[in-house]
Structure formats: C-alpha cells, structure tokens
C-alpha cells in the first residue's frame, strides 16, 4: 500500500552531511489499541495521554555515501554503546518507509539514542524511540525541502512513526492524541495520530501518572505477537466495537470532567486489554501478583477516601496510577506509603501529561 500524500519530491544533491536531534515522549493509552491489519493499520481507534518525563532522545548524524547503498547503511548506539540487536527492527522500519524517504539509501546514518527511563524498566521505548527517529528523518527531509509546511511535517512524522511501532504515532503531539478514524473525532485517521481537537475540562490538565515498576524484565509477549492474537480471537469484533463506543464516551467525559465515568472507562479498558490476552489462543497472563495487590489497594483507598485515583496497564505487569493534579499531594503520599512496596526494588517513575516531542 502506498499513500500518495506522503510521497514527497526532493532534490538531495545539495545535502552532504549533518546531524539532527529530537526528544520524544512515551504515551499511555486510555482507550487501548490492540489488534492491527496490514501496513500497521489499527483494527480499533485509541486515545492516549502524551507523557512528559519518559522520553527518548535521538541524535541522527548523516553522511552522504559515494554511491547509493544496496541495503541501508546505519549503526545504532544506546547510551554510547553499539547495539547490533536493535538493528533488525530499524532495518525493517527503513524498509517500510523507504518509498516515503527516497534519500534513505544515499546516506550512512549514525543513530545515537538514550532513554530518560532505565532500559530494563519494563517500559517499552518503542513509542518514544520510533517517534524520535521519525522526527529526525523528517528534519532531514525538511532540510531538503524547506518549504514544507509544519502541519505536513508533523502529520508525516506521525505517519512514519506508526510504521515503526503503531502507538508511536501518538507520541509526536500532546496532550491527548487520537489514532484511528472515528466519526466523532474530526480529522481522525488510521494513518496518523491527531491532537485531540475538542474542549478538555480542567480536571484533565496536567493529569499525573505515577508508573509503578512491578516487573522490569523483557516483555513476555512481543507487540507483534500480541496484536496478531486478535486476528482470530473469538471476541475480537465485540472488542473493536467497544473501543469505538468508548472513544465516543470519553469525548463527553473529557468535556464534562466527570472523573467517576473517567475512572470506570479507563480501568475497564485496561482490564479488557488483559482479558483479551487471557482469552486468546495461545493465552497469556501478563499481570503479576503485585499488579493485583496494587489494584486492590487502589480500589480500597478510593472507596475509603473518595479520591479520584485509578489505574491503567500496558501489555505488561507495570501499573500506571492516574490522578488529577489537585489531589496529587494526598494520593502521592498513599502511593509512597502503600504501593511502592510492591515495585521491583522500590522503583517507580513520577510522570504527567506532556505536550509532545521537542527538537533539540
């Protein structure tokens, strides 16, 4: 599949070498993307909070080759050390995007990357990493085609990031990003993420996300394998319809600031994602005993205090604790005194909603 709107004509003769850098954040989905079609197209719509603290910083240096390479010429360094095991993923990414960036074969690329969160934290760096790399590549395209409008730049960056890792297309902008064409969200598309275009109640401004690192190991189920489990899943169709309906519902919630409804929707989405994994073939349980301990503690604390604390989960055991800024003091005290004990080595990350990637 070729998407003509992102095929740009460029004259690369004038460019020889240089370097560009971007810092790009991770994101946490409220309505989860789970299931994909060919060309990294989502089988359901999703919406996420862009994060601020969990970020990848990538410097992309480029040097013109004497003659275009047959494959791609690049090296990847994490924290200054060569990472050959990252290279197949980048190679696959370059293959997927080469039609859209015809200069990819003409340069040797040095990709120097580092994460603000520890590599072995169980936090996936694919969203922040792929979006940072997509933005660096777009900055090279921009040098070749300075007339390119900013709107196109960010749209294409999100489009390219999606081809690296689906949810990465939601990491370019902030504070809320929708991915997947939805009748209630104007401008939404399966091809790229769009900034949520409607009114957001003050309750959701600077929302807090304390990430409890329950299991810092490698992912038990890779994203690709996980998404593929939805291909012949008995409940797939119902799940996709539920996600669509939840996106309509969250639009109302975001406008009215109804935290009770927000909590019910977000927690249900997290548990449904895990429910899908528990009911697929093969089946998986990605939560750990401490994940459940934390969830039960959150529920008990909420019942006791009436404070609007809730959780969400990615495809793993770590827990994202979400709460409004106005209640941050008492909720953070609770997290420190009651929840941190369930984290591996007591590790957690204090994050919050952010506004997207930054050029350095």
Give CA–CA dist 350/352, Å, rounded. Answer: 7
Give CA–CA dist 154/143, Å, rounded. Answer: 15
Q: Which of 20, 22, 24, 32 binds ligand PMV (CB under 6 A)?
A: 32
Q: By CB under 6 A, is residue 160 in contact with ligand PMV?
A: no
29-37, 143-151, 256-264, 302-310 -> range binding ligand PMV (CB under 6 A): 29-37
294-313 CB burial, b ≥16 within 10 A, e <16: bbebbeebbeeeeebbbbbb
7-15, 99-107, 165-173, 328-336 -> range binding ligand PMV (CB under 6 A): 165-173
Q: How many CA atoms lie within 13 A of 81 on its CB side?
A: 4
Question: What would the two tokens of residue 166 be?
Answer: 């689906």
Q: By CB under 6 A, is residue 126 in contact with ligand PMV?
A: yes
Q: Which of 56, 113, 128, 223 binds ligand PMV (CB under 6 A)?
A: 223
Q: By CB under 6 A, is residue 314 in contact with ligand PMV?
A: yes
Give CA–CA dist 69/73, Å, rounded. Answer: 7
Q: By CB under 6 A, is residue 290 in contact with ligand PMV?
A: no
Give CA–CA dist 258/243, Å, rounded. Answer: 19
93-101, 160-168, 260-268, 284-292 -> range binding ligand PMV (CB under 6 A): 160-168
CB of 31 to ligand PMV, least distance (A): 8
CB of 336 to ligand PMV, least distance (A): 26
Contact between 276 and 219 (Cβ < 8 Å): no
Q: By CB under 6 A, is residue 315 in contact with ligand PMV?
A: yes
Q: Which of 20, 29, 191, 212 binds ligand PMV (CB under 6 A)?
A: 29
DSSP state of 193: E
CB of 167 to ligand PMV, least distance (A): 3
Question: What would the two tokens of residue 104 be?
Answer: 């990819």
> In 3D, which of 283, 347, 352 has the Cα closest to residue 119?
347
Question: What would the two tokens of residue 333 be?
Answer: 């005290």
Q: By CB under 6 A, is residue 196 in contact with ligand PMV?
A: no
3-state secondary structure of 55: strand
Q: By CB under 6 A, is residue 166 in contact with ligand PMV?
A: yes
Give CA–CA dist 322/311, Å, rounded. Answer: 6
CB closer to ligand PMV, 29 vs 140: 29
Q: Which of 45, 131, 167, 290 binds ligand PMV (CB under 6 A)?
A: 167
Number of residues that bind ligand PMV (CB under 6 A): 13
Phi, then psi, of 178 in degrees rounded to 5: -105, 140
CB of 258 to ligand PMV, least distance (A): 22
CB closer to ligand PMV, 230 vs 309: 230
In sign, the C-alpha dihedral spanning 268, 269, 272, 277 is negative
Contact between 212 and 343 (Cβ < 8 Å): yes
First to last CA, the chain: 33
Contact between 258 and 250 (Cβ < 8 Å): no
Contact pattern for ligand PMV over residues 237 through 276, marking x by CB under 6 A? ------------------------------------x---
Q: Which of 23, 46, 116, 125 binds ligand PMV (CB under 6 A)?
A: 46
Q: By CB under 6 A, is residue 33 in contact with ligand PMV?
A: yes
CB of 72 to ligand PMV, least distance (A): 22
Enumerate residues 176-195 that contact ligand PMV by CB under 6 A: none
3-state secondary structure of 11: coil
Interface contacts to ligand PMV, rule CB under 6 A: 29, 32-34, 46, 126, 165-167, 223, 273, 314-315
């Amino acid at each position: 599949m070729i998407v003509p709107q992102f095929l740009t004509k460029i004259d690369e003769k004038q460019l020889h070498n240089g370097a560009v850098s971007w810092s790009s954040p991770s994101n946490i989905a409220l309505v989860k993307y789970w299931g994909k079609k060919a060309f990294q197209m989502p089988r359901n719509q999703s919406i996420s909070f862009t994060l601020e603290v969990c970020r990848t910083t990538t410097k992309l240096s480029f040097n013109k080759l004497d003659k275009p390479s047959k494959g791609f010429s690049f090296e990847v360094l994490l924290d200054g050390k060569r990472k050959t095991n990252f290279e197949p993923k980048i190679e696959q990414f370059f293959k997927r995007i080469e039609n859209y960036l015809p200069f990819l074969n003409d340069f040797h690329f040095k990709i120097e990357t580092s994460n603000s969160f520890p590599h072995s934290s169980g936090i996936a760096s694919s969203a922040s990493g792929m979006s940072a790399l997509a933005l660096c590549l777009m900055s090279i395209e921009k040098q070749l085609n300075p007339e390119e409008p900013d709107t196109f730049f960010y749209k294409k960056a999100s489009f390219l990031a999606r081809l690296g890792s689906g949810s990465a297309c939601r990491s370019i902008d902030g504070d809320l990003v929708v991915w997947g064409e939805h009748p209630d969200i104007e401008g939404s598309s399966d091809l790229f993420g769009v900034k949520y275009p409607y009114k957001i109640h003050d309750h959701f401004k600077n929302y807090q996300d304390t990430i409890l690192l329950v299991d810092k190991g490698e992912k038990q189920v890779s994203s690709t394998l996980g998404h593929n489990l939805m291909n012949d899943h008995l409940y797939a169709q119902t799940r996709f319809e539920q996600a669509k309906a939840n996106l309509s519902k969250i639009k109302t919630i975001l406008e009215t600031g109804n935290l009770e409804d927000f909590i019910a929707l977000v927690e249900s989405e997290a548990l449904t994602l895990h429910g899908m994994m528990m009911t697929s073939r093969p089946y998986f349980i990605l939560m750990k005993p401490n994940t459940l301990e934390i969830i039960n503690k959150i529920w008990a604390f909420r019942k006791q205090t009436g404070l609007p604390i809730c959780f969400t989960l990615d495809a793993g055991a770590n827990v994202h604790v979400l709460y409004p800024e106005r209640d941050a003091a008492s909720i953070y005290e609770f997290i420190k005194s009651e929840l941190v004990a369930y984290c591996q080595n007591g590790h957690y990350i204090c994050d919050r909603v952010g506004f997207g990637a930054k050029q350095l």
